[in-house]
Structure 1
């Protein structure tokens, strides 16, 4: 059975919890075993509770920070934190305060460096699909172009966690469906605001992208991120439904609203060379979801580690690291935002231990987010107007990231 089939057919596993002993700060989830409810916690806002606790991993004691979000409370909701453009980064605390979130955690893995392509600018754009306030921002890069640890078997860069307009959180897949139509025919769209395009494809860049150079989109291959940049590229700018300019190589700078820049590589570049100034062109794109017919309010990439109460097969249980994750319980109405301490006094957890920990905490489904120096969990103190970083980021300060999951409340 594939991961996608499991996602649709697996029933929610009923978990039995044991009452934890001792004060919250001293509570330990021993060995990430499937038992232990945590008492107390600090109420951040209606429907939002913050907790912290020790976790006994195989390689020592980790310290976890948790936000429990109750979506049955009509005053709380979730949305994407991001800096206003896909190819941009900012610390989670700054993103949360700028958007008015009461709490949040970092999001997807991203294009953080370009050491293999000298002279090419790292975009800072995330790996997977992204949806903010119901608006599609981007699609997923090819699997071989992702940054981060190896994907578990059966998962892909198209995996997301999100919340629908029905206010239920869920795991899903989001694939790009798009076309470029002219008077002479239709071409398939291979990418949307992505830092890496499939070989032989054409990608679209919109005003959501930002000012960063689009050259990186033509570097690497579908299976090798470090492969050289393509020597066969072409770019076409569409405004008002017509071609207004062309170029032999991808450019950068502001893309105005109502403008779409098409970037082609190899066979895609050859097709774009046929376009001429003034030619009518219609570009269409959308993200097609696998698991639900409900529209998404927000979605962010990463990869599943727990589905229907069961850890995915093949999860790594050797490499301990500082990590962030998000869990779903209560048939989509209970969301757990989780991050580990990166301070020198604590150890990390393996991906397998993360899956077990999220199940222990009450999740039926769980999703790994970016980790290491990106792992950041923020929350307001009761009555405060700005968030505070609750965990200890690995580098001692917050790392700028492309997105996160924000918790928002209304009066």
Structure 2
């Protein structure tokens, strides 16, 4: 579970690493100083698929940003947090209280302002300082509550759980989640409400609902509750809090649970449990950082142990690295240059984005808005999209962009490096003969290119499934149509190249990405689906009900 700092049994084995065989790797630019690399690898333990954002913090275009829903105890898909911040890329962040409040367990800092913090425990962070240095930093809470009779130490700030004898400080930034679970099992509890430095209410259990603007709450248990028990409405109370660290002035920080690398040395971490992973690495000089995810719990990616993750981060160039929340939380978003918005680039193991409390990402400074280049690519960026069969087509997007990578809408002039292999018209490339071909988008002095593989003419068709089984009216599923040349090489076919015949009273079939979406229109029934392209046909069945 995401609330746990460990997702498997603790064990360390210094086995010799086998990096395996990288079967595919592609790097694209997100913005100046920020690249996305996606790779597939096979080793004796199975397949691994990963994504890495490599960041040059010397870039004048990039700005680090703390990703969140806006309050500490709220959870939303990371894509919403990225959109809220206007970020061009980011990864999920801290472990969190998954079964109760939803709040991060460790430290969070946004634009230098403390969001959440424990005094001790879960103090490791991935941090970026005001002067643009990425650091593995330990950050602690320095908080004092000055009562009429003297000062006491507060132990937590907007934290999901208070330990024995603790005093927690809560602000409106906490959000809507209740605080009763924060003091679950406490022998004695005291909550004190402050406004403008004066006690306005005291109670023996935390109140429900969000904290009103301009209000600070002190929530305490056992000895902490005893210290606050003397307070009554009208008493003056001063609360002061700040992060404490030797890493300098922190601009952005998210918490993690394990140091994977320290000073270039792999640490003694778990080498048993394989899970989806998220990690952040830092160069020795703090000028570069890597935000990485590795998929897991899937047929095409087994996940990594913490030890394997440490070695992976070191192979990227990291000197220090920290493990962030993994499992179903692992999520990485990025745009390509010229794309209007970032999209999820990894494959979350839950089948979609998990609701998470925070993350770390990057925005860009405002761009010129003037066209400086293109980043042409297949319109649907899925497996084998960079292939096209002779006689058939592939749709492309030009993705014009300015000096920061922001989208600029311009219709380019398209050309190919060899018109005998392929031609392109208004962003649709048609294959003519086998071989590699460069496709160029150009307007004025701005240009960009991508490379596609033209396969031979199709000699047979196939589908991703033999039968689409739908449970009842309204149920949905998908399928793809593939074409294969005489050498056995293949790719999915654009819906524009395929003609479908089927019983329209049983199902509705609509183009969807690199295939088709099927919706049942009746409670019970069946139909054959015939797909035709390039003079060939293939068949599958669709059934509804039992």
- TM-score, with length taken from structure 2: 0.61
Instruction: Give how far 1:206 is off.
Output: 0.6
Instruction: Give how far 1:197 is off.
Output: 1.3
Aligned residue among 127, 130, 137 for 1:162 = 127
Q: 1:379-400 CA deviation, whole Å, 9 max, x = no partner?
A: 0132122111001100111001
What is the distance in 2 between the residues matched to 1:205 and 1:299?
A: 19
Structure of larger gyration radius: 2
Are 2:259 and 1:273 equivalent residues in the alignment? no
Aligned residue among 92, 95, 98 for 1:106 = 92
Gap change, CA 1:280 and 1:141, over 3 Å in 2: closer
Are 2:176 and 1:211 equivalent residues in the alignment? yes
Residue correspondence of structure 1 range 5-20 to structure 2 within 5 A: none
Higher RCO structure, 1 or 2 (CA under 8 Å, sep 6+): 1
Are 2:109 and 1:131 equivalent residues in the alignment? yes
> Which is worse superposed, 49-58 or 273-282?
49-58
Aligned residue among 158, 168, 171 for 1:193 = 158
Q: 1:68-111 CA deviation, whole Å, 9 max, x = no partner?
A: 11111111121210111111111111110111000000101100
Instruction: Give how far 1:199 is off.
Output: 0.7
Asked if the contact 2:65/2:363 (under 8 Å) is kept, the reply is yes
Asked if the contact 2:58/2:287 (under 8 Å) is kept, the reply is yes
Instruction: Give how far 1:176 is off.
Output: 1.0
What is the distance in 1 between the residues matched to 2:135 and 2:120?
A: 23
Aligned residue number for residue 290 of structure 2? 336
Aligned residue number for residue 50 of structure 1? 36
Residue correspondence of structure 1 range 242-391 to structure 2 within 5 A: 242-290=198-246, 292=247, 294-302=248-256, 303-312=258-267, 314-329=268-283, 331-342=285-296, 343-391=298-346
Instruction: Give how far 1:254 is off.
Output: 2.1
- TM-score, with length taken from structure 1: 0.81
Are 2:118 and 1:140 equivalent residues in the alignment? yes
Gap change, CA 1:282 and 1:315, over 3 Å in 2: same
Asked if the contact 1:128/1:141 (under 8 Å) is kept, the reply is no
Asked if the contact 2:119/2:155 (under 8 Å) is kept, the reply is no
Aligned residue number for residue 116 of structure 1? none
Residue correspondence of structure 1 range 19-98 to structure 2 within 5 A: 31-32=18-19, 41-56=27-42, 59-98=45-84
Instruction: Give how far 1:257 is off.
Output: 3.3
Instruction: Give how far 1:230 is off.
Output: 1.2
Aligned residue among 124, 128, 146 for 1:181 = 146
What is the distance in 1 between the residues matched to 2:310 and 2:53?
A: 16
Gap change, CA 1:349 and 1:58, over 3 Å in 2: farther
What is the aligned-residue RMSD (CA, Å)?
1.9
Q: Which runs of 5+ in 2 are unaligned?
A: 1-16, 368-546
Q: Which has the higher strand share?
A: 2
Q: 1:305-331 CA deviation, whole Å, 9 max, x = no partner?
A: 10111011x211111111111111151
Name segments (4+ residues, structure 1) moved above 6 Å.
Answer: none
Q: 1:253-282 CA deviation, whole Å, 9 max, x = no partner?
A: 222333110011011112222101000000
What is the distance in 1 between the residues matched to 2:41 and 2:216?
A: 48
Q: Which runs of 5+ in 1 are unaligned?
A: 1-29, 114-121, 144-156, 220-228
What is the distance in 2 between the residues matched to 1:344 and 1:90?
A: 27
